[in-house]
Amino acid sequence: MPVGGVVALTLKAISGIRIGTASAGISQTIRDDVTVFELAADTQVAAVFTKNKFCAAPVTLAKKHLKESTAKYLLINSGNANAGLGDVGLLSAQQCCQGLAAIANVEAANVLPFSTGVIGEPLPVDKLTAVLQGAVNNVAEDNWPSAAKAIMTTDTCEKGCSRTFELNGTEATITGIAKGSGMIHPNMATMLSYIATDMPIQQELLQKMLNKAADVSFNRITVDGDTSTNDAVVLMATSKVDVPLIDSQDDPRYGLFLSKLKEVCCYLAEAIVRDGEGATKLINIQVEHARSEQDAKEVAYTIAQSPLVKTAFFASNPNWGRILAAVGRANIANLNVDKVSIYLNDVCIVDAGKRAEDYTEEQGQAVMNQEEITVRVCLAQGDSKFSVLTCDLSYDYVKINAEYRS
C-alpha cells in the first residue's frame, strides 16, 4: 500500500481520446495488460523518453514513428519490457504496431508502442496481437481508470488525476495516468505516463511544455537510483475545445496551462514515489542557499540515494549523522561545512556544521516516526535550490526485487 494510503481515482474524460483494454495474459491474468489509446484527428503529440543507452525496442520505434508520421494510436503492454533483445525486439514491436494498424485501418507508423515489465524475455507477440481487436472494440472516453490499472506492474495501486480550470473564460481539462514503483530515477524512471488535454496547442510548444513539466516532476524523483530501459511520458492535445490555437509563449493562456500541467505531472510523480516498492515513508529532500543549482542537485541526490540514510528512515532511527555524512561526500567544490545547517521538518539537527545545541534525540525521534518527512539542508553559499522526492528502503524492497525477474 502506498504511503498515505490509496487515493480513489476521479478521472475526467478528454474529448478526442478513446481507450480500450484487454487481457493477453503476458505475465499474469488477474487484470488487463494491453491498452490502446485512439487519438482523434488533429491531435498533437509530444513525448519524452528514457536516456538509458540500452533503451527498449518500443522506445526506439516510438521515437522513429513520431518523426515519420502522425500518431493516431498508442499501444501499451505490461508484463514484458521487450528490452535487451536487439533486432528481435524491434521486429516484435513492429509486428504489434502492424497488428493494430491492420485492425484500425491506419499505417504502422501511426502507432506508438510502449512496453513495461521483465527485461530480456521475448515479447509474446501472438498473445498480444490476438487481443487487439477486443481492445479496439471497447474503446471509450471514460476508460482512463481501466488504462491506469492495465499499465501497472509491481504497482500496488492505480495512479491518476485530472484538473479542470478556466483559460480566458474557456473550461479546459488535463487528465493523466502513470505507472511506476521501482527502478525509479531521473532520465527518467521505470515509469510510463499518459497525459491528455482537450485544448488546441501547437506541437512544438506542446513539446516545450512537456519538457518543462517533466523537469520539475518526473525528473525529480528517485526510489532506488536505477534508470529503466523503457520509461516514457506522452502528452496529447486533442484540440476539441473550439478556441484559438495556443502557439506562443506570449499567449496569456500559456503560463496558466503550463502551471496546471506541472501540477498534474508533480501529482503523478509523487504518487510513484508514495508507491515505491516496499516504501513506508515519503521523504522530501530540499537543498537551499547553494552556490548553483547543480550543487544543490548533487547534494539532494547524494542524500536521497544513500542506502544508509534510506534504511535509517525505514527504521525510524534518528541517526542524523548519516545525512551529515552524505552532505559531506557530495561532489561539490568549496563546501564550507562550518556554515551548513540541516533540519528534519522544523527540527534543527545541525547548526553551523555541528550538532545543534538545543537538539534532543526525542525531537529527532518524533519526526522520524512520521510517514512524511522533509529534510532541509542550508548550504549558506548562494541563492540556488533543488528538491527531490524519495522514499525509505525497506525489507520488502529487497524481497520484491530479489524475487522479480528483470
Q: Are 144 and 175 in contact (CB under 8 A)?
A: yes
Task: Answer whether 127's CB lies under 8 Å from 137's CB.
Answer: no
Do residues 249 and 315 both lie within one domain? no
The total number of structural domains in the chain stands at 2
pLDDT tens-digit map of 288-329: 999 999 999 999 999 999 999 999 999 999 999 999 999 999
d(CA 386, CA 235): 25
**Same-domain check for residues 51 and 152:** yes
pLDDT of 227 reads: 64
pLDDT of residue 323: 96
Give CA–CA dist 191/154, Å, rounded.
11
**Do residues 221 and 240 share a domain?**
yes
- Low-confidence spans in the chain with pLDDT less than 70: 181-190, 224-227, 400-401, 403-406
Residue 53 is predicted with a pLDDT of 83
Q: Do 44 and 179 have their domain in common?
A: yes
Do residues 174 and 316 share a domain?
A: no
Q: Both 177 and 95 in a single domain?
A: yes
Residue 160 shares a structural domain with residue 297: no
Comparing CA positions, the residue from 372, 332, 325 lying closest to residue 349 is: 325
Domain check: are 104 and 34 in the same one?
Answer: yes
- What pTM was computed for the model? 0.94
Count of residues for the chain?
406
Query: Going by C-beta distance under 8 Å and a sequence separation of 6 or more, which residues neighbour residue 307?
Result: 393
Q: What share of the chain is helix, strand, coil (3-state, %, to 5)?
A: 35, 25, 40
377: containing domain: 282-403
- 375: domain CATH number? 3.10.20.340
Closest CA to 43 of 138, 135, 110, 94: 110
Active site residues: 190
Q: Are 225 and 183 in contact (CB under 8 A)?
A: no
State residue 230's pLDDT score: 81
